[in-house]
Structure 1
Amino acid sequence: MKNNTLHYGLTGNIGSGKSTVAALLAVLGVPVYYADDRAKAILTEEAAVKQAVTELLGAEAYREDGSLNKTWIAGKVFHDKSLLTAYNHIIHPAVRADAQNWQTAQSNAPYTIREAALLFEAGSYRELDGIICVTAPEALRLSRVMNRDGVTEAQVVARMAHQWPEAEKEVLSQFVIVNDGQQPLIPQVWRIHHALLQLYSQGSK
């Protein structure tokens, strides 16, 4: 049997619940690459990346203990489009290379999941076999993020402005999960899981 591991992306706009879906897939034994977590690690562990960020944003981007000053960085980049673009040009290629190395190591899995908020915006969706998009009404997403992060509505809206509209992401996705608090989440995840296992089985014959 040939190796034909499928590599799918999992995305959704802020507050959609994509992390919850990723956790459910992980419980089912699916290898999950958490791009946001890896990005944070890369930003503090890779010297070349740290130097580039410091040169772009200043020494305040890192605390004295070497940890990332996320609040300070967010305050800088989310109010300056050119600065955000430059920041993303530093981190996205590094995360993409890290994800590809990780995928190569998962050759025994039927399929993998790359969970990332900006799969479409960063263009990395083109490297994957397909996309699962998690959606939720904007008002619900706003409420979730405000409660989760302890931030204002204006701060959440500013972050939303840098993401593609849900409708555009849905059109380019192979699977869509509706996480509106009304439709049960687990059955939707279960159906997609089995659909991907079937796709893998068909491709490995």
Structure 2
Amino acid sequence: MTKIIGLTGGIGSGKSTIADYFRSLGVPVYIADEQAKKIMDEPEIVKKVQSIFDENVIENNSLNRKKIAELVFSAPEKLKQLNSIVHPEVKRHFLDWVRKHNKFPFVIKEAAILFESGSYIDCDRIILVTAPIDVRIQRVIKRDNVSKDQVMERVKNQWDEDKKIALSDFVIENIDLENAKAKAQEILKVLNKM
């Protein structure tokens, strides 16, 4: 049976870079956030999401993600409601995807909030990508053209690194990309022996 390897990390840790690296090595990688965005474009999901907000969050028949992000990051209850709509759909889609990749010994599920969503319990092993908070903040400011305060607001919605490390089987410190890739290769050798 195909094993599920969770890959996660705090905002700006570089988990997407590591996911891309695993993919380049021939490992099937499911990017949960990308799929969630696609699922959020489905008309019935658009209606369900609009129903949890008092103000209009639909623009040109699609959800205005920036507006939703602004609304949910300061309202944990709304974020919880949003996740309760999107996460079950992503889970269903992911399980279909795993079935299509059942000839592989394992697949990787990359998810920013693997722990926060509770979906880590469905994983056979977990890889956590970390980097010092100041490095992560600078990466996100540069990548998303946002302020430090906006980054810190997002960080507050994610679990503390120590809590994640305690639940992870492998940790990749992603400060220097070549070192991070070398660690990813070591992990791959262990996973191939599972």
Aligned match of 1:40 = 37
Compute the displacement of 1:183 (Å). Answer: 6.9
| C-alpha RMSD of matched pairs (Å) | 1.4
Once the two structures are superposed, the pairs formed by residues 123-202 of structure 1 within 5 Å of their partners are 123-181=118-176, 184-199=179-194
Aligned match for 1:51, one of 6, 25, 47 = 47
Is contact 1:60–1:72 with CA below 8 Å preserved after alignment?
no
- Does the 8 Å CA contact 2:46/2:62 hold for their aligned counterparts? no
TM-score in terms of structure 2 length: 0.95
The 2-side partners of 1:92 and 1:13 are apart by 18
- Structure 1 match to 2:28: 31
* Superposed displacement of residue 101, structure 1: 1.3
Match of 2:4 among 2, 7, 10: 7
* Aligned twin of 1:106: 101
Distance 1:29 1:183 in 2: 18
The CA distance in 2 between the partners of 1:103 and 1:182, in whole Å, is: 28
CA distance change for structure 1 residues 59 and 51 in 2, over 3 Å: closer, same or farther? farther
| SS of residue in 2 equivalent to 1:57 | coil
Q: Deviations over 1:85-106 (max 9, x none)?
A: 1111111111111111111211
Other structure's SS at 1:56 match: coil
- TM-score of the pair, normalised by structure 1: 0.91
Cα offset for 1:60? 3.1
Q: How far does residue 80 in structure 1 lie from its aligned partner after superposition?
A: 0.9
**Counterparts of 1:183 and 1:112, CA distance in 2:** 23
Which consecutive unaligned segments of at least 5 residues does structure 2 have?
none
Structure 1 runs not aligned, ≥5 long: 200-205
Structure 1's consecutive aligned runs of 4 or more residues displaced over 6 angstroms after TM superposition are none
